[in-house]
Structure 1
Amino acid sequence: MATVSDLSKGNYVRYNGEIAQVEEIQHRTPGNLRAFYQIKMRNVRNGKVAENRFRPGEEIEILRVETKEYQYLYSDGDSLVVMDNETFDQVYVDKKLLGESVNYIKEGVTLLIAFENGNNPITADPPNNVVMEVQYTEPGLAGDTATRTLKPATLENGAEVRVPLFVNTGDKIKIDARTGEYIERAKE
């Protein structure tokens, strides 16, 4: 067990039986009171942020977390099958770790996955943006580009995003994989 003074930003800890990541840590010494640590932690399961106070000598469990890049192969029920690019081992990762961004990734993209003690995944991060083809969208009217009006478009994996009027069926577009927002038309 480590003490709170050993913590730094980005460490993963087990607190109240849950895994949390340290986002901010401050050592405070207010006037005539005793010193304490004010720590802001994000729960990796539900994303909730909590601030807690700790005494300087208090013990906390710091987890050993290994982060690696994996290639997304295919979806299998509630899991994603990913492959280690170096050893070609396949691992099943729960879709819940990606949240809503699971709708905006496609086969072949690289995911950054963090494992606790090398075997159970605790976080998965999609790439910043992905290029996808528009399968269907209503045709836009010529000259109607004065306003930033958006229309729905269905992507190659079935997900729906809002795109500008000038985007047509068959165009390749760049999407923010974390939020599903349109960024730009992809350059071929």
Structure 2
Amino acid sequence: MPSTPVINLRKGHAVRYNNEVCLVSAFELKTPPRMASYVQMSIRTLSTGKVYNLRMTSNESLESVNLERNPHEFSYKDGDGYHFMHPETFEDVILSENAVGDSKDYLIEGQKYTVQFADGLAIGIELPASVVMQVTEAPEGVKGDSANNVYKAATLETGLVVQVPLFIGPGDKISVKTEDNSYLGRSN
């Protein structure tokens, strides 16, 4: 496998470290005055979920792992994990709780997601920039609070709690930014 200089890595890239496939979860290039630049990054092993915090000089390299990305439809969750089905081959792919991580808050049955594969094994999912979800619980807005941009907590169909404007109620469909769980607007 080819080596990649650590300075070219970014969040979401796959590398091999200690003979394990790992995903870069945090990356920062630091250039202190009168010193050589270095890379501070965190990588998470896919098999165990163990996190390594690495500090490497900008000219060091790690072995890169080729990632494949294929669309799959989320089917259901059970004791084995999260089940995704390939839309053409109908092959069932199971991802563990560890592999799915915080993305579980955005998984809606029947929706398509991008499943990542490394060395032929399913390792995780990529979420779209935003997801449309239905509000299941939202308290009534307090009359007179509409003069300011006042928000309230609303629970969505997956259990995710998002801050929404006062006019949003149960049954409304809203668009949520997956990067930071923020409300983007109403949806049809």
Which one of 83, 88, 91 corresponds to residue 90 of structure 2?
88
CA distance in 2, matches of 1:77, 1:181: 30
With the length of structure 2 as denominator, give the TM-score of the two structures: 0.73
The 5 A counterparts of 1:1-188 are 1-3=1-3, 9=9, 12-21=14-23, 42-45=42-45, 50-53=54-57, 60-77=62-79, 79-118=81-120, 120-186=121-187, 188=188
Identity over aligned pairs, percent: 31
CA distance in 2, matches of 1:85, 1:40: 39
Q: What letter is aligned with 1:70?
A: H
Q: What letter is aligned with 1:154?
A: T
Q: Judging changes above 3 Å, is the alpha-carbon distance between structure 1 residues 101 and 64 closer, same or farther for their aligned structure 2 residues?
A: closer
CA distance in 2, matches of 1:132, 1:98: 18
Q: Displacement of 1:80 after TM fit?
A: 0.8
Deviations 1:24-43 (A, max 9, x none): 89xxxxxxxxxx99666541
Structure 1's unaligned 5+ residue stretches are 26-35
CA distance in 2, matches of 1:160, 1:24: 30
CA distance in 2, matches of 1:48, 1:164: 40
RMSD between superposed Cα atoms in Å = 3.4
Q: Displacement of 1:89 after TM fit?
A: 0.7
- Bigger radius of gyration, 1 or 2? 1
Q: Is the 8 A contact 2:39 2:56 kept in 1?
A: yes
CA distance in 1, matches of 2:180, 2:52: 18
Deviations 1:73-96 (A, max 9, x none): 111136110011221111101132
CA distance in 2, matches of 1:64, 1:104: 26
CA distance in 2, matches of 1:17, 1:41: 18
Q: Displacement of 1:143 after TM fit?
A: 4.4
With the length of structure 1 as denominator, give the TM-score of the two structures: 0.73
Moved more, 65-74 or 11-20: 11-20
CA distance in 2, matches of 1:138, 1:16: 50
Aligned residues: 177
Q: Displacement of 1:97 after TM fit?
A: 2.3
Deviations 1:41-98 (A, max 9, x none): 5414467663323867x7x533232111111111113611001122111110113223
